[in-house]
Each structure stands twice: as C-alpha cells, then as structure tokens.
Structure 1
Amino acid sequence: MTTPAAPRHPPLSPRSLLVLLGALALSFLAARLGSIATVPNLAPWYEGLAKPWFTPPNAAFPIAWSILFALMGFALWRVAMLGEGAARRRALAAFAVQLALNVGWSFAFFAAQSPLLGMIEIVPFLVSILWTIAAFRPIDGVAAALLCPYAAWVAFAAVLNAAILSLNG
C-alpha cells in the first residue's frame, strides 16, 4: 500500500513573496474593477429589484468577495510557483479567463442593469471556474481546493441571478 505524497509548498523566497503579492494584487484589481460597475448601481436600481427570500444582506457581499479574492490570489500564487511548462500555462490561462468573466458579470448585471445579461454571462463564468479548478488540481490540490468556495458562491449567485430575473421579468 502506498501513502499519498505530502503536499508541496511554494518556497518562501523573495521571488515567491513578490509573486504572492502580484497574485493578490491581480485578484484585488479584478475586485476593484467589479466594484466600479457594482457600487454606483446598488441604489436605486438593485435596491428596487424584487429579490427572493434567500438574498443575503448587502453587507455580506463585500465580506464574502474579499475572502474569495484572497483565496483566489493565494491559489494563483501556489500554481504559479509549483506549476511547470504547459500545465502551468493552461492553468494560468484558465485563471485569466475566469477572472475576466468575474469582472464581466458585474458589468453585465450591474452596469448594464440587466439580470438577463448577468444570467447569460454567469453560465460561462461558472464553467470557467470549474475549468480553472480542473487545471489547478494536477499542479496543486491545495490551490484547486482553495477555489471550491468560489465555485460554490458563484453557483449560489447564479441561482440568485436566475431568481431575480424571474421576479423582475
């Protein structure tokens, strides 16, 4: 019987710390871009929409997203440091696609004030997160696992988006 290999960890070198800071900065840059589309449209547009009973309070969203963006940055750092060659390139490409779709959803739903566009955009967005998890897993299981709460949150957001679309036809 073989035992599983111990998880690998990125080195704690000056280069590694710079990559970590860059990964976190990139993730939080996406957060900032999304907030540019979101914040001006919270009142009165979003507040005026009919929402389902399971809609979290507005205060929950920045807390959840801050945690998720930090996890994304940390996962990206692990893959950037532990991955090699084509596998790392595929994983980084998948991450870039999902990050762009993340920002795009805020513009589709909030800036365009369109639950329909948000629904159309969130489907490939969620698929791209699952693709990213699949691309991260062979490089680093920890990095893949760090993205699972993100996938769950976006799946919930898709259900919420669909309910808002239905209620506001």
Structure 2
Amino acid sequence: MRRTSAVPLSGTSAGSPSSGRIAGAAGAVAATAVAGSLAVDTGSAWYRGLSLPAWQPPGPVFGAVWTPLYASLAWSVSRALDRTEHGRDRRRTAAAFGANLVLNAGWNVLFFRAHRPVAATAGAGLLALSSADLARRAHRTDPVAGAALVPYAAWCAFATALTARIARLNR
C-alpha cells in the first residue's frame, strides 16, 4: 500500500474517514460485537465450573475495554481504507478486516458455546496475529490509523494468554 496525498478523499476532512466507509466499518464491527456477545454465557454451569487464573480481570472490565477497542477498530480501518490508493490493496485490507471480525466473534463461539478452550486458544492466537497484521497494513497507509490499532492487537494478545492459561488449568 502506498500513502496518498494529504488531499482529503470523498469530501472528508484531512483526519476523518468518509462517512460511508465509517458507517460500513462501524456496522460490521457492531454486528461482530452482537454476534460475539450472543455466544457469551458466563452464567453457565460449564463456565462457573472452570478454574480461572487470579489475573483474569473482573467481568465488567471486558465490556469497558471492548467498547473503545471496537470503536477504534472501525475508525482506524475506515481511515486506512480511505487513504489506500490502489483498489487491490484496499480489497486486501478490507478482506483482512473481514477475516479479523470473523475470528473475533468466533472466539466466543469456540470458548463459550463449544466449550473448547484449547481450540479457543488457537482462535485467539489467530485473532492476535490478524490484529497485528491489520495494524501493520493500516500503518503502511496511515501511521495514525495503525497506531490506533495497537491497543486492539495488544488486548487480543492478552486474550490469547488468558485463554491459554484457562485451557491449561482445566485440562
């Protein structure tokens, strides 16, 4: 991907993604959040029976963290896509974004619905790699958008470590 000129795209201001692109990215992220949350069941007998590490954050922290991460994901990806000059690169970044969202919602299904912590660890690892790749892709086009994705990639890496520890504790 190449950086574009500083000229705003699609009538946007220099720092804002186009309204259509941000709406599409926000819609995709919101659908992912809803799909993922529908799979979560912390009240199930299975979940309540798990041994959890002492360093697992309390339940409310997850919502407090995921909300701004999802917002920054939608903003960053739409901003990077707006600044991607070539259609092929834009399509590749959009496909990487879509794959990331599938992995994001998929973790909840693997962990909470399928009760497969080992598989969920693999899914979380793929999500963390995908998130780092998304930050890299965004950074190549727009360093600000790439930097805004670093907390998302870091949280996904933390989630991988947490899931792996839960899997080990509950063999």
| TM-score, structure 1 normalization | 0.87
Task: Give the Å deviation of 1:70.
Answer: 0.4
Match for residue 35 of structure 1? 37
Alpha-carbon distance change, 9 to 118 in structure 1, aligned in 2, over 3 angstroms: farther
Alpha-carbon distance change, 58 to 80 in structure 1, aligned in 2, over 3 angstroms: same
Runs of 4+ in 1 over 4 A off after TM superposition: 6-10
Find the residue that maps to 1:42 and give its secondary structure. Answer: coil
Task: Give the Å deviation of 1:99.
Answer: 1.1
CA distance in 2, matches of 1:48, 1:9: 54
Out of 118, 139, 144, the position equivalent to 2:120 is 118
CA distance in 2, matches of 1:70, 1:59: 18
Identical counterparts, % of pairs = 34
Match for residue 103 of structure 1? 105
Alignment of 1:14-163 (within 5 A): 16-38=18-40, 41-44=41-44, 45-85=46-86, 86-163=88-165
CA distance in 1, matches of 2:35, 2:8: 31
Alpha-carbon distance change, 9 to 149 in structure 1, aligned in 2, over 3 angstroms: farther
Alpha-carbon contact 1:90-1:135 (below 8 Å) kept: no
Structure 2 residue runs of 5 or longer lacking an equivalent are none
Task: Give the Å deviation of 1:165.
Answer: 0.7
Moved more, 16-25 or 158-167: 16-25
Amino acid at match of 2:80: V
- Considering fraction of residues, name the structure with more helix: 1
Task: Give the Å deviation of 1:159.
Answer: 0.8
Find the residue that maps to 1:138 and give its secondary structure. Answer: helix
Task: Give the Å deviation of 1:127.
Answer: 1.2
Task: Give the Å deviation of 1:137.
Answer: 1.4
Task: Give the Å deviation of 1:18.
Answer: 2.6
Taking only aligned residues, the RMSD between alpha carbons, in angstroms, comes to 2.1
Alpha-carbon contact 1:87-1:135 (below 8 Å) kept: no
Match for residue 167 of structure 1? 169
Find the residue that maps to 2:43 and give its secondary structure. Answer: helix
* 1:38-87 C-alpha deviation (Å, 9 max, x unpaired): 1xx21123232111110000011111111111010001210221112122
CA distance in 1, matches of 2:160, 2:8: 33
Alpha-carbon distance change, 8 to 107 in structure 1, aligned in 2, over 3 angstroms: farther
Amino acid at match of 1:119: T
CA distance in 2, matches of 1:75, 1:63: 19
Task: Give the Å deviation of 1:19.
Answer: 2.0
Find the residue that maps to 2:59 and give its secondary structure. Answer: coil
Number of residue equivalences = 161
